[in-house]
Structure formats: C-alpha cells, structure tokens
Amino acid sequence: MSESRRLPVPEGLVGERIDVALSRMLGLSRSAVAELCAQGAVHVDGHVAAKSDRLLADHWIDVAIPTPVVPGDPEPVEGMLIRHDDDDLVVIDKPVGVAAHPSPGWTGPTVIGGLAAAGYRISTSGAAERQGIVHRLDVGTTGLMVVAKSERAYTDLKRQFKERTPTKIYRAIAQGLLDPLTGTIDAPIDRHPTADYRMAVVSGGKPSVTHYETLEAFPYASLLEVDLETGRTHQIRAHMSAMRHPLVGDSMYGSDPTLADRLGLSRPALHAARLEIDHPGTGERLIMESPDPPDFDDALKRLADTH
C-alpha cells in the first residue's frame, strides 16, 4: 500500500538534487528517497526521476510513499537521552533525524522504536503506531519531548496539552533581524492552500500565538527564545516564514540555503530547550532543560565569528 502525493518545487529548492529536496520536504532520509527513485516511485513533470536529477522552477513532483508500518523489531536510537523517567512518563532529549512515531514513507528511527528497543513499556492509548505520544517534534527539530508510560499519564497529559498548561520554550536561529526585537505573532495557521505538505498563515485557520524574544542579533541572523502559547503543526516555522524571517536551514519555508551551508546547518535551526508539565500522579511541576545540540551550537559560534 502507498500514498500518492503531488508537490510543487519550493522556490528555495530550485536547482537542488531530488534526493536532497524530497528528504527536506517529506522528512525522509536521502537513502529512502534514493530507494523510491530506484523503484520508479518518483516522477517530475510526468517523467521518472533519478535521485541526482536537478529540480527546476514550476516543476511538480509526484511520489508514491509507502504506508507506515509499526516496526516489529524496534531499533535503538543513537544519541537519544533520557532526561526524566518514572512509572508514569519518560522525557527524552530527541536528536535530529528522529521521528516521534512511524508515518507514511518514514523508514528512519523513531522515538517509539527507540524506547521499545531500550526496554521501556509505554501507554497503549492512542493509535497503534503512536501509542503514548501526547505531543510531537518534527524530524529536524531537536530537544525535549514527553511520552506517557501509564494510561492515567496519557489521559492527563493529553488534557494538559489541550488546555495549554505546559510551558514549551524553544531556541531558534532566524534569518535577519526581527523588528520589533521582542513581540507576539498572533496569526491563524492551516494547511497551505496550494502546497498541503506545509502550513501557512491563512484566513480562517486555527488560532495560533507565538511569543518571541531576540536573545542575540548577528549580521545575518538572530538567536531567538520562542514561547508557544498554542501548539500547531510547524507553528514556529510557519510564523517565522510569514514574518519574512524563516528559520535558518528551513528550505521548506523559504530560508536561504547559502546561509545554512555557511553555518553548517542541514535542518531547521529549532531546539526544544525547556519543558514544564504537571506530573500526572503527584501534581508536581516538572521543569526540564536541554542544552543546545552540537550543530546548533556550532552555527552560533560561526555567527559570532562574523561580528
């Protein structure tokens, strides 16, 4: 079984190899895209595409993505750290390139698979492929994520995220200098009207509120602290793009690939640095923090050298 998708070539990926482009657009590994190309599952403007083909403006990509399969033999996830663990929940520090759970076309590592391989038993609530998952981080986003182990934790944490009581603080590197330096973006988000693989600020979308503060300004980019009041899919990425300050490395949302290359970033510069939740059993406020991952830290050092 497979899912067929039709995607326009984003402006920021014109001239890019198709394996690199689809990897960024769909969250697949380059090897997974290469395998799809070898199977004849990728077409560009009606022609079977090779993984090394270069994309042109106004082209359309048709791709048949295999439906998700819940792994029978979970694989360990290298670099996934445990920040908190008890009978009700586990908080992990997710590395880049790891999905929260299996999804169409994703053949790489997942949080669910990594926890299972490490011997963790998690809540059986939720869909089969995403049991225990109460919130998610994108494949390219690093940082803190909580997974329910008990049924009461799953129910309570889902309620907390619905009622917006958790605190989620991100660190992000955005292109340019934001004006004002500190502010709130209150703009509705929904699927992009012509590119449904990404989100956009659209009239009639779901209410979405993002608070940001510029921590440090560099010649070409800004280090931000971002506090999510709501938790929409791709919220920070879509809001920053709408402000004309996309996250560095986020070609899906219009970032400059040249700047990403200069800073050594191959993914959106977004890190879930702080998470606060109420413990489902004790009611205690749990506060967890995660340091910047190596690629994020290295990008900041390179920016500092440009002063």
Rounded to an integer, what distance in angstroms lies between the CA atom of residue 213 and that of residue 222? 10
Tokens 């394996």 sit on residue: 19
Catalogue the active-site residues: 138
Span 217-235, pLDDT tens digits: 999 999 999 999 999 999 9
DSSP secondary structure, the chain, as one string: -EEEEEEEPPGGGTT-BHHHHHHHHH---HHHHHHHHHTT-EEETTEEPPTTPBP-TT-EEEEEEEPP---SS----TTPEEEEE-SSEEEEEEPTT-BSS--TT--S-BHHHHHHHTT------S-GGGTTBSS---TT-EEEEEEE-SHHHHHHHHHHHHHT-SEEEEEEEEES--SSSEEEEE--EEE-SS-TTSEEE-TT-B--EEEEEEEEE-SSEEEEEEEESS--TTHHHHHHHHTT-PBTT-GGGT--HHHHHHHT-SS--EEEEEEEEE-TTT--EEEEE-PPPHHHHHHHHHHHTT-
- Kindly state the percentage of the chain with pLDDT values over 90: 69
Sequence-ordered list of residues with C-beta below 8 angstroms from that of 73, at least 6 positions apart, any chain? none
- Kindly state the percentage of the chain with pLDDT values over 70: 93
Mean pLDDT of 239-263: 96
Span 36-63, pLDDT tens digits: 898 899 999 889 999 999 999 888 999 9
pLDDT at residue 124 is higher than 80: no
Rounded to an integer, what distance in angstroms lies between the CA atom of residue 239 and that of residue 189? 8
The whole-chain average pLDDT of the chain stands at 90
Q: Would you state the pLDDT for residue 80?
A: 96
Indicate the pTM of the whole model. Answer: 0.78
260, 277 contact by CB (below 8 A) = no
pLDDT at residue 71 is higher than 60: no
> Can you give the C-alpha Rg of the chain in angstroms?
19
Q: Would you state the pLDDT for residue 252?
A: 92
Q: Would you state the pLDDT for residue 25?
A: 78
> Band of the pLDDT at 27, cuts 50, 70, 90?
low
Q: Would you state the pLDDT for residue 212?
A: 98
Rounded to an integer, what distance in angstroms lies between the CA atom of residue 63 and that of residue 49? 10
Q: Would you state the pLDDT for residue 127?
A: 63
Rounded to an integer, what distance in angstroms lies between the CA atom of residue 214 and that of residue 182? 6
**Length of the chain measured in residues:** 307
Q: Would you state the pLDDT for residue 93?
A: 98
Mean pLDDT of 288-302: 97
Span 192-219, pLDDT tens digits: 988 877 899 999 999 999 999 999 999 9
